[in-house]
Amino acid sequence: MGAEETIREYYEALRRGEPLYPYFAERDDATKFGVGERLVGYDAIAEGLREQSRTTDDWTVESSALGVVERDDVARFTDDVALSWTDVEAGERRSFDTRWSGTLERRDGEWLFTSMHVSAPHEL
């Protein structure tokens, strides 16, 4: 499986409510920035994603501009993604048009995220 397929599989896992932390490299310098979070290190990422799974449901993930550049054992990506989910604690539906970017490394034939950045544009 290539890096692009791994990214698309991550999106599908998010839609299905499956664990997401296995897609990240177990490294102290791995990073994940979300719309409202900053997680550094595999342990923090895993805990943050477990909490996200516990407190959200019914994800919609619509990729519209996925671009991936793969070189040897490193890949980078960008995408525009429409995200929606239900905040189960507040009982509210949340939606954002987001921008994604990040890097992946291939280890033992498997692509894993080493960084992921998800942001929502803010109009000035």
pTM value > 0.95: no
pLDDT for 35 equals: 81
Closest CA to 109 of 22, 2, 33: 2
Q: What is the pLDDT of residue 100?
A: 97
Residue 50 near residue 63 (C-beta atoms within 8 A): no
Q: What is the band of 103 on the pLDDT scale with cuts at 50, 70, 90?
A: very high
**pLDDT tens sequence across 42-63:** 999 999 999 999 999 999 999 9
Mean pLDDT of 16-34: 96
Looking at the predicted structure, is the pLDDT value of residue 79 above 80?
yes
User: Is the pLDDT at 83 greater than 60, yes or no?
Assistant: yes
The pLDDT of residue 29 is above 70: yes
Q: Please give the pLDDT value at position 124.
A: 53
* Mean pLDDT in residue range 91-110: 95
Of the candidates 47, 11, 18, the one whose C-alpha atom is nearest the C-alpha of residue 32 is: 47
- Rounded-to-integer distance, Cα 40 and Cα 18, Å: 21
Domains of the chain, each with CATH number or no CATH:
3-119 (3.10.450.50)
- Stretch 105-109: mean pLDDT: 95
**Three-class DSSP category at 36:** coil
- The answer to whether the CB of 104 falls within 8 A of the CB of 75 is yes
Q: How far apart are CA 124 and CA 117, in angstroms?
A: 21
Mean pLDDT of 94-120: 96
